[in-house]
Chains A and B, each alone.
Chain A
Amino acid sequence: MIRDRYRRLLSHVVMGLCGLAVLVALVPLALILFYVLSQGLSSLNWSFLVDMPRPVGEPGGGMANAIVGSLYVVAIGALFAVPVGIMSGVYAAEYAGTRFAEAVRFAADTLNGVPSIVIGVFAYGIAVLPFRQFSAMAGGVALGIMMIPLIMRTTEELLRLVPGSLKEGALALGATRARAVFTVVLPAALPGIMTGVLLALARISGETAPLLFTALNNQYFSTDLRQPISTLTVQVYTYANSPYEDWHRQAWAGALVLVTIVLTCSLLARAATARMSRLHRGA
């Protein structure tokens, strides 16, 4: 009896601690968001969203080119990281016992620990130097490289957790392995995989260092893949490091815009996945 009571008490204590953990994590979040809002909201206006940067001292000036640029390089990165990440995850999950799969997993974990700046230097070496040109493409490559481990590991872990019965059912019905994995197992794990993809996107949208060596930055509006391109993070970084109050305020406004964009995309993607999985399950 006492043993039971102890177990129940322990259970309640642990549950309480978990709730506490949530609160503890929410405190810095609230503080940071409040800070970004309070610093950035006052400088955020319509001209900020549509103007190009202006030299200090001139009124107005905005980050329109940086906003478009950020979306651009993140899209390029995702374009090449999502397929590589998901496919590698599928391989590692399907051929889990093999030595190569272990190597792939190891490689992903190692890549995850490489500092963003080292990846930037690497991308500089392979995508900028040979062409003697800073470019949006190189920026996308650097960001893509950073996304791969997160996507790959998430995909792999979640695929392995899908109950074997689902896949076996598909195979028993005569599906090829490819079909079983892509039409049954992967969609079952999709919400979780989506989390991985979104986390990766969120992380790289906020990266500065790799872009400094690849996409550089651009005072003008440009969507040319082969030219330097402006991004919110680099622009915020440059402005924050400058001696001008006006540029500091713009830096905060830029940070606010960045966080808002990442959040909105995250929300939209989640809503879309939820809808997709509902349709898929026929609910």
Chain B
Amino acid sequence: MPRSRIAVRPDEVLFRVGTGIFASILVVGVLAIGFELYRQSRLSIHEFGWQFWQTDTWDPVSGQFGARPFIWGTLYSSILAIVISTPIALGIAIYISELAPAWLSTPLVFLTELLAAIPSIVYGLWGVFVLVPAVRQLQAATPAALKSLPFFTGPPLGIGMLSAALILAIMIIPFSSSIAREVLRAVPQAQREGAYALGATRWEAIRMALFYARTGIVGAVMLGFGRALGETMAVTMVIGNTPRISWSLFAPQHTMSAVIANEFSEATSDLYLHSLIEIGLVLFVITLIINVISRLFIWSMGRQRRTRPRAEPVLKAAA
């Protein structure tokens, strides 16, 4: 049948339009959020312009607002969290989908998702009462040689960037790990069997599966990253809520979500409120930028390999 006739078949059109409507709801929703954020921060945008992204002062009394320390804190804590959690999450995903005996995999899946079931406020409370004192002890025990590095300066308060990054890492493990696991499980057995037939070791076969599912894996990591960027409650209880820019893991710092959560209800002036919402807008824009970067990353991943056959590493090894 000619292609155009299939494309305009009524059931085909209905399918496309039907699912398309729901997809549009999503897109329109996100645009609406972006628009609302812009609309409700107009006072602050007008007042500060681009300086908002570059100033460090956050003074509600004098009406001076700058978002740079919060941008720093959010990015530093989230990137650190991803760096810590991704290897662990992937390790878990690989273990459950490839290595664990059948009787073990179901309980492990259950336990991983248990981590996601814990409310963020419980993470926060546990963080304050258990993690922070432990980190404080760790900080106090840092050898003097390390203390001179910019990453470890400052008094051992416990509260600070390190605690925040650790809590975030724990919180996002179930997300990246579960999606990665499902994605790995969905790789067709035929692909794996082909690899083994060519003499691959377990790890090499898994590497092949990871490559096959790479967009899903990157998607899983991005979902975890998104979660880390937006996490509010747990972070605000352990990060110290002090707007400042510091490389030190021991220093109390602040994040965009935390400052909005802390100060939104009490914002007394319109400029204050608009500034807080502008921080929300900044976070929104940063998420957009990060998404674009990760897409470029996936695209380049695909490009590199297109010129070489997939079985090459295994073939090379077998030679």
A interface residues, Cβ below 8 angstroms from B: 3-4, 7-8, 10-11, 14-15, 17-22, 24-26, 28-29, 31-33, 35-36, 83-84, 87-88, 90-92, 94-95, 100-101, 103-104, 106-119, 121-122, 125-126, 145, 148-150, 152-154, 157-158, 160-163, 176-178, 181, 189, 191-192, 195-196, 198-199, 202-203, 205-209, 212, 233, 236-237, 240, 255, 258-259, 262-263, 266-267, 270
List, in ascending order, chain A residues with CB within 8 A of B11's CB. 176-178
List, in ascending order, chain A residues with CB within 8 A of B2's CB. none
Please give the distance in Å from B57's CB to the nearest CB on chain A.
22
Is A263 in contact with B215, judged by CB distance below 8 angstroms?
A: no
User: Does B158 reach chain A (CB closer than 8 Å)?
Assistant: no
CB contact under 8 A between A90 and B19, given known A112-B227, A115-B232: yes
Please give the distance in Å from A24's CB to the nearest CB on chain B.
6
Is B260 in contact with A192, judged by CB distance below 8 angstroms?
A: no
Mark out the residues of chain B between 184 and 232 whose CB falls within 8 Å of any chain A CB in the assembled complex. Answer: 185-188, 201-204, 206, 213, 215-216, 219, 222-223, 225-227, 229-232
Is A7 in contact with B317, judged by CB distance below 8 angstroms?
A: yes
Please give the distance in Å from B258's CB to the nearest CB on chain A.
9
User: CA of A88 to CA of B130 in the docked complex: distance in angstroms?
Assistant: 41
Is B36 in contact with A125, judged by CB distance below 8 angstroms?
A: yes
CB contact under 8 A between A161 and B187, given known A110-B288, A205-B117, A255-B121: yes
User: CA of A192 to CA of B201 in the docked complex: distance in angstroms?
Assistant: 27
Please give the distance in Å from A95's CB to the nearest CB on chain B.
7
Interface-facing stretch out of B46-54, B104-112, B145-153, B246-254: B104-112
User: CA of A195 to CA of B97 in the docked complex: distance in angstroms?
Assistant: 14
Known: A161-B186, A203-B227. 4 other contacts (CB 8 A): A101-B23, A117-B257, A161-B183, A255-B122
User: Does B77 reach chain A (CB closer than 8 Å)?
Assistant: no
Q: Output the residue of B12, B19, B178, B287 with the most chain A CB within 10 A.
A: B19
List, in ascending order, chain B residues with CB within 8 A of A28's CB. 115, 170
Is A206 in contact with B232, judged by CB distance below 8 angstroms?
A: no
A–B Cβ pairs within 8 angstroms, 13 of them:
A18-B95, A28-B170, A87-B18, A100-B20, A114-B33, A115-B261, A116-B230, A117-B232, A126-B32, A149-B223, A236-B119, A263-B114, A267-B110
List, in ascending order, chain A residues with CB within 8 A of B113's CB. 195, 198-199, 202, 266
User: CA of A139 to CA of B17 in the docked complex: distance in angstroms?
Assistant: 29
User: CA of A87 to CA of B261 in the docked complex: distance in angstroms?
Assistant: 32
User: Does B154 reach chain A (CB closer than 8 Å)?
Assistant: no
B interface residues, Cβ below 8 angstroms from A: 9, 11-12, 14-16, 18-23, 25-27, 29-33, 36-37, 40, 87-92, 94-96, 99, 108, 110-123, 125-126, 129-130, 170, 173-175, 177-179, 182-183, 185-188, 201-204, 206, 213, 215-216, 219, 222-223, 225-227, 229-233, 256-257, 260-261, 264-265, 277, 280, 283-284, 286-288, 290-291, 294-295, 317
CB contact under 8 A between A157 and B219, given known A106-B291, A111-B26, A125-B36: yes
User: CA of A33 to CA of B15 in the docked complex: distance in angstroms?
Assistant: 45
List, in ascending order, chain A residues with CB within 8 A of B112's CB. 25
What is the chain A residue whose CB lies nearest that of B10?
A176
List, in ascending order, chain B residues with CB within 8 A of A90's CB. 19
